[in-house]
Structure 1
Amino acid sequence: MDPAVADIDVDLDRLHAVTADVQRSMTTVIEGKDDVVRTVLTVLLGGGHLLIEDVPGVGKTMLAKALARTVDSTVRRVQFTPDLLPSDITGVSVFNQDTHEFEFRPGAVFANVVVGDEINRASPKTQSALLEAMEERQVTVDGRTYRLPDPFIVMATQNPVEMEGTYPLPEAQRDRFMARISMGYPDPAAELRMLGTHGSGSPLTDLRPATDAATVATLVRTVERLHTAPAVRQYVVDLVTATRANRYLRLGASPRAGLQLLRAARAHAALEGRDHVLPDDVQHLLVPVLAHRIILTGDAELGGASAADVLASVVAAVPVPAAPR
């Protein structure tokens, strides 16, 4: 057996053991949402960022906090408000009277897991402070560049219903989130269990770390090594290109979207126990990865179409390559 193949098999075994522990811990807090937790793990292993968008009270912030508690790492929570300043996010240089020099004081973004609550309540100027951090894993302040810790994930929440006092995320900001998910309401059985476990206190109190930041960073590098056949890469390009020519869309997916889709597909394949990516992995992540990046035409919106509907038509129109290895 090829030593490289043997190594990836061993690494995937470790990945499964770690992610199973993380998922088991998170599902004790997030009742009846195994698919949502699975998507969170996919984004984490894909090295991306996650936007959680849903109505109030369904557990958006709880989900982000559960991941932060399950991974033993540095965590910062930011409550986005209209008066939040960009320097609160990135940091600021302060003059030290004793040394007569400027010292950099890191902002909230300097953590492995950054939980951004209601990101659309901050001003566009403050939102833009995250652009460099999310894309390049660094922050530039007063002409000096500071690297962010590894791994680094931003988990932001927003309420799509209440528009008063909010600032919609611009396309450049949305494009930096690998995936967008909605929690949805729990089924009655899960909600009943939640009343029993959450009613007397927060389940986060008893949540213990299942892994640490160094292990997660190693697993992310393992996912990057998964084999992706040329036919699968071409399939990703064909899907992304098809969105740009779709008559129901006035803004298609960007090249960054294709990169994010491939990384997410690798992570999904790893979670499924495979050392290679299939077209099924790409299709499974298409809506979470692309739906928040595309913009429908006015006619499509008037016709009642959704981003998921348009993406389903794109998948139906683009030929699927034969199962590769």
Structure 2
Amino acid sequence: MAAGDFEGSPDTAVRLRAITSELSARFYERDDVVRTLIVAMLAGQHSLLLGPPGTAKSELARELTTRVEGASLWEILLSKFTSPTRMFGPIDVAALSRGEYRQVFDGRATTAHVAFIDEIFKCSTAALNETLGFLNERLYHPESGGAPIHCPLITAITASNELPSGEESAAIYDRLLVRLEVDYLSDPSNFAALIRSAVTLPVPAVRTTITLADLRHAVATAVPEVEVPDVIVDAMCTLRAALRRRELICSDRRWRVSVRLLQASAFLDGRDEVAENDLSVLMHVLWDSPAQRPVVEREVLQMINPDAREALDLADAIEELAAELDAKAGQSRDALSEWAIKEANTKLARAGKKLGKLRKDTVEAGRSAISIDRVIARQKAVHARVLTEALGVDASLVHVQS
């Protein structure tokens, strides 16, 4: 099979790319989050959406999980009082009246192909071990003490407003390979579009789906068949050494399992071989605390694209301007306008032009522009904030170009 040819079910990858586009268009500033969730699903791994309330974590998870036709879906909001039987199967009262101790598993985690678990770190102590077994080994040990039940779970999307605070919830955190931070919208024009969507009738949209059979085939057969060349193995060894120098240590297990994510990323793009561009998914795997994520991101992106170093330096300068704008809250409009005109607007426009050139050079060189696109999006968002908050431009009319 020639490099670049796709074997298996190319329609699955095509449909998943369509789902990626549809969800990215619906959920503003979530392009990378959507794609990474789908990559995790293809890899048969679990993911965490980490962010404050009101950032559409649950809505996004539900919209994605319901795109799998024929799949048994299971959703739950956990609390410290959630019992294992509520999650995995309540006691059959009718059977109990006959002296039989049985559980009803239909419609519970035990029979789910895809799961959405909200407030995952509020898992009760009583349900902890069963939840760990469910996520890691896809097993449930019945209350009756019978043989363990093999659960058909393919992937679980979990969500939380906060990081785990104790050893018990930290054990669950370790089972979630992909960790995605979501925050409130930063671009005023996107926020204006969000508000407008609340008062306008929605236009019926195309809703692409995939079948459970196709997803299972991709996870079990097509994705594992994607080749991982030696250059990717070498890159991962180099990345591991770079992160260890920064005192960021990941377990050997996490590194090993992350290879399947790289294969899933290539599959999603319709390729039969992992490329350097696929390494970008590791930005969401190799950190434990959000404070570590920028360090991991920089190391990963610099490996993928030599131009990323300059783009990331520009990103730092853009964040400094955003922080400066935050610090000026409460100042007079005249003071804000003077700062915006003399300093912020000029610097942001210059950064936008430089990022545009970097992106052009990167694309012409055949390299991934994912890192530069992320910085460009941030530059546009901060520039829009300056225009609206400092210069009083109508947010709904803002369309900043890099």
The alignment's TM-score, normalised by the length of structure 2, stands at: 0.64
Match of 2:222 in 1: 222
Of stretches 137-146 and 26-35 in structure 1, the one that deviates more from structure 2 is 26-35
Contact 2:117 2:159 survives alignment (8 Å): yes
Aligned length: 298
- Flag the 1:230–1:12 CA change in 2: closer, same or farther, 3 A: farther
| Aligned counterpart for 1:51 among listed residues 29, 43, 48 | 48
Match of 1:194 in 2: 194
The alignment's TM-score, normalised by the length of structure 1, stands at: 0.77
Report the AA paired with residue 189 of structure 2: A
RMSD: 3.5
Q: CA deviation at 1:123?
A: 2.7
Q: CA deviation at 1:263?
A: 0.9
- Flag the 1:75–1:185 CA change in 2: closer, same or farther, 3 A: same
- Flag the 1:91–1:256 CA change in 2: closer, same or farther, 3 A: farther
Of stretches 36-45 and 192-201 in structure 1, the one that deviates more from structure 2 is 192-201
Q: Structure 1: give runs of 5+ residues left out of the alignment.
A: 296-304, 321-325
Contact 1:229 1:277 survives alignment (8 Å): yes
Mapped pair 1:112 → 2:109: no
Distance, in Å, in 1 between the alignment partners of 2:213 and 2:23 is 19
Distance, in Å, in 1 between the alignment partners of 2:98 and 2:19 is 45
Mapped pair 1:61 → 2:62: no
Report the AA paired with residue 49 of structure 2: I
Distance, in Å, in 1 between the alignment partners of 2:261 and 2:159 is 20
Mapped pair 1:257 → 2:254: yes
- Flag the 1:211–1:226 CA change in 2: closer, same or farther, 3 A: same
- Flag the 1:210–1:228 CA change in 2: closer, same or farther, 3 A: same
- Flag the 1:24–1:313 CA change in 2: closer, same or farther, 3 A: closer
Mapped pair 1:266 → 2:266: no
Contact 2:140 2:149 survives alignment (8 Å): yes
Mapped pair 1:36 → 2:33: yes
Higher helix content, 1 or 2: 2
Q: CA deviation at 1:306?
A: 2.7
| Aligned counterpart for 1:149 among listed residues 124, 133, 152 | 152
Of stretches 91-100 and 72-81 in structure 1, the one that deviates more from structure 2 is 91-100
Report the AA paired with residue 177 of structure 2: M
User: What aligned pairs does 1:1-325 form with structure 2 within 5 A after superposition?
Assistant: 2=1, 9-11=6-8, 13-27=10-24, 29-72=26-69, 73-91=71-89, 94=92, 96-97=95-96, 100-106=99-105, 107-141=108-142, 142-149=145-152, 152-160=154-162, 170-186=169-185, 187-199=187-199, 208=207, 210-220=209-219, 221-237=221-237, 239-240=239-240, 243=243, 245-246=244-245, 248-249=247-248, 252-282=249-279, 284-292=280-288, 306-311=291-296
Q: CA deviation at 1:274?
A: 1.9
Match of 1:300 in 2: none
Contact 2:5 2:271 survives alignment (8 Å): no
Report the AA paired with residue 188 of structure 1: P
Higher relative contact order (CA 8 A, sep 6+): 1
Q: CA deviation at 1:201?
A: 8.4
Whichever of the two has the greater Rg, that structure is: 2
Of stretches 167-176 and 48-57 in structure 1, the one that deviates more from structure 2 is 167-176
Q: CA deviation at 1:85?
A: 1.3
Report the AA paired with residue 293 of structure 2: A
Q: Structure 2: give runs of 5+ residues left out of the alignment.
A: 306-402
Of stretches 23-32 and 261-270 in structure 1, the one that deviates more from structure 2 is 23-32
Contact 2:283 2:300 survives alignment (8 Å): no
Distance, in Å, in 2 between the alignment partners of 1:130 and 1:185 is 30
Report the AA paired with residue 308 of structure 1: R
Report the AA paired with residue 195 of structure 1: I
SS, match of residue 76 in structure 2: strand
Distance, in Å, in 2 between the alignment partners of 1:316 and 1:190 is 26
Distance, in Å, in 1 between the alignment partners of 2:32 and 2:4 is 29
Distance, in Å, in 1 between the alignment partners of 2:200 and 2:252 is 48
Report the AA paired with residue 307 of structure 1: Q
SS, match of residue 306 in structure 1: helix
Contact 1:43 1:179 survives alignment (8 Å): yes
Encode CA deviations 1:224-283: one digit per residue, 9 max, x unaligned. 11001244235435544665x54634xx2112211232111111122233211123322x
Report the AA paired with residue 150 of structure 2: R
Report the AA paired with residue 123 of structure 1: S
Q: CA deviation at 1:38?
A: 0.8
Report the AA paired with residue 222 of structure 1: A
Report the AA paired with residue 283 of structure 2: V
